[in-house]
Chains A and B, each alone.
Chain A
Amino acid sequence: MGRVRAAGAVTRLRARRFWSIAALFLLAVVVCAPAQGAAHAWSCLLYASNAATPAKLPERLAAYGPRLKRSFGFSNYRLTAQYEIAVDEAVETPLLSAGDLHIFITSLLPAPGGRYVVGLLFVEGSQQIMETQARVGRGSPLFIRGPEWREGQVIIVVAIDA
């Protein structure tokens, strides 16, 4: 009987120790979890032209209106397609698809300072047009001036968010 009591006390002590360690691990995991959250990639396709009909930029690019006009020389920027996806760092992911134009994320690696090194592949039809790698800050859009279309030009915008 005494032996049973002693064995029970030892078991309770071990269980208490185990749950203490488990609680600490859980705390660490919970605290660390947000730092390892998946990144999100946002992309859109703009049709730049000098059309008289006014067009509204996406909210993310609202502050870039004057700079777009200055850099591309067109007065009107119309959103034609927009995508936002969660990105797995290890898998090539289609990001944007509009007509024959496609953008793939080929790699995404976190970089110091809350930035990302992102690999992009620009495909038209079945032909690879360009592959690029860029270091981008969170929410900083990267602009790609694409082919001409109708009376204007296609502009592709890619941004990475945490």
Chain B
Amino acid sequence: MKTFEERFTAWLDGALDGEELRSFEREHRSLAHERSDFLKLQSLLRCSDHRPQLANPDFFNSQIMAEIARGRAAKKKPGTRSWLGLPRLAWGGLGVLSVGFALFFTFIPWNDYSDPRAKYVAEVLKTKTAGPKIKATVDNQKDMTIIKLEGLDKLPPGQDLHH
């Protein structure tokens, strides 16, 4: 047994025939104008389904995308994230450090350009000999420091000390 909705839909679609059609129209005489309205509406919808072709679709799309990008940028601007975000702080810190190092090494002299002979520095901090037989004494003069080794055996005269 079909419900009213099923029979009504089939009637609108023209799917009822024979005894079933006559029985439905006899039972629901007042629905005749409903069908004519439905047909009018259907024809109108089919007519409006026609979409106009754009003359320059690429330009249209680019305009829409630009508008979307502007909208996104406008949303980001009011926030503090753009200025205080971690990546920006990190890059900023690195940049400042680099500039600082560059300025430091550029403007702070690190070379001693004085004559090294004018500033003789040779200070013996510690000495340790192999055994008690050998002694090392340090002679600190103003412009000459000597470690004097005593107790060494004399080298053989035939030993070649050239390279």
Contacts and interface: CB of A to CB of B under 8 A. Distances in A.
B125 interface: yes
Contact of A2 (B65, B136, B139): B65
A3 B65 contact: yes
A98 B130 CA distance: 20
A149 B145 CA distance: 22
B53 interface: no
A117 interface: yes
Interface residues on A, range: 35 or more
A43 B97 CA distance: 41
Interface stretch (A50-58, A63-71, A84-92): A63-71
Given A2-B64, A71-B144, A101-B161, A132 B126 contact: yes
Band of interface residues on B? 35 or more
Contact of B102 (A21, A27, A72, A101): A27
A133 B124 CA distance: 6
Interface string A26-42: 01100110010000000
Contacts, number: 167
A35 B125 CA distance: 25
A47 B108 CA distance: 44
A64 B144 contact: yes
B155 A154 contact: yes
Interface string B61-74: 11111101100000
Contacts of A139: 116-117
Nearest to B112: A114
B154 interface: yes
Contacts of B43: none
Given A2-B69, A27-B98, A100 B155 contact: yes
B149 interface: yes
A100 B124 CA distance: 24
Interface of B: 58, 61-66, 68-69, 91, 94-95, 98-99, 101-102, 105-106, 110-112, 116-117, 119-130, 134, 136, 139, 141, 143-149, 152-155, 157, 159-163
Given A130-B127, A146-B152, A154-B155, 4 more contacts: A81-B161, A81-B162, A122-B149, A149-B157
Interface of A: 1-3, 5-6, 17, 20-21, 24-25, 27-28, 31-32, 35, 45, 47, 63-64, 67, 71-72, 80-81, 97-101, 113-115, 117, 122, 124, 127-150, 154
